[in-house]
Amino acid sequence: MIACFDIGGSAIKAAAAHAHDDVRPLPKVPTPLSDFDAFAATIGELADQSGADRSQLIAISIAGVVDAETGRITCANIPCIDGRALAADLKEKLGRSVLIANDADCFALSEATVGAGVGHRIVFGVIIGTGVGGGLVINGNIHEGVGGFAGEWGHGPVSATSAGNPPASIPRFACGCGQIGCIDTVGAARGLERLHLHLHQAALSSTEIIEAWENGEATAARTIDCYVDIVSAPLAMTINIVGASIVPVGGGLANCIPLVELLDKAVRRRILYKTDRPLVVPAKLKVEPGLVGAGILGLTEIAK
């Protein structure tokens, strides 16, 4: 049994991982943002509460990108760890070995191991929520790529400038990553809102747009038509490149099953491999996939 964590800018979630399908959460606590000593102490206290042996490693899923070569993390929403060689620094503070992976990678690993991707050799886990992201798992192992950015299909200047039927003109929106025209600017929840505002000059939340679409409202249907057209093309290209045979989707927008089904049909029309079987599917793990993925990551390491 090991201690595992899912760490975001607002909260640290911890659990005791007894097996891949037996991860027992502890109460979550606020994330110390500006004090690394407090951050490390909180991790240590929660690890002790889990009951895990201090000789065992701890595994962390985090909302940041870890460079596999340097071990340094990019994590702007937790300033006290941004730029640190976090695993090494935590090991020095806690006297425990530490494994760290991006939260989208842990999501993909959890789906590949105990979720929708069971039985598939190549699993591409997709997030469409606050942001657009993803993780790639090959033969049960996270593929991080150079700099830890493998699977990050949401960034890159590839967003369409014309979408929907009939075609509508779509501007190339500025992205927080510094580029123009990233899929994240349209495919994420705020992006869906941005798209609706552009098309109809009406400010609605993503949940309001989805609800209106499900109720048959025409302007929302037009927004969703354009949204699926824009998002499905780069997702299809990514699937062609990585060769995934299943694409579990998580994040807030993925809670709308009809939207995922529509995206799946559009993607399957655009990929080279033709199949009548659903490819882009709702994630099976609805509760704490990051924690589950971190637990699987750590348990797999100690079993080697």
Distance, in Å, from the CA atom of 235 to the CA atom of 280, rounded to the nearest integer, reads 10
Reported as a single tens digit per residue, the pLDDT across 164-205 is 999 999 999 999 889 999 999 999 999 999 999 999 999 999
**Which stretches within 51-102 are classed as H helix?**
86-94
Domains and CATH numbers, the chain: 2-106+287-302 (3.30.420.40), 119-282 (3.30.420.40)
- CB contact set of 92 (below 8 Å; sequence gap of 6+): none
Task: State the average pLDDT over residues 72-78.
Answer: 91
For residue 169, the model assigns a pLDDT of: 97
For residue 267, the model assigns a pLDDT of: 98
Reported as a single tens digit per residue, the pLDDT across 242-274 is 999 999 999 999 999 999 999 999 999 999 999
- CB contact set of 294 (below 8 Å; sequence gap of 6+): 4, 5, 6, 17, 59, 60, 61, 99, 101, 106
Q: How would residue 145 be classed by pLDDT, with cut points 50, 70 and 90?
A: confident
Reported as a single tens digit per residue, the pLDDT across 196-233 is 999 999 999 999 999 999 999 999 999 999 999 999 99
pTM, to two decimals = 0.94
DSSP 106-117: HHHHHHHHHSTT
* Contact between residue 239 and residue 282 where contact means Cβ atoms under 8 Å apart: no
Task: State the average pLDDT over residues 85-101.
Answer: 95
Please name the residue that has the structure tokens 């996939």. Answer: 289
Q: What percent of the chain has pLDDT over 90?
A: 89
Reported as a single tens digit per residue, the pLDDT across 5-62 is 999 999 999 999 999 999 999 999 999 999 999 999 999 999 999 998 888 899 999 9
Interaxial angle between packed helices 206-214 and 189-200, expressed in degrees from 0 to 180 and rounded to the nearest 10:
70
- CB contact set of 123 (below 8 Å; sequence gap of 6+): 108, 111, 112, 117, 136, 137, 244, 245, 246, 247, 248
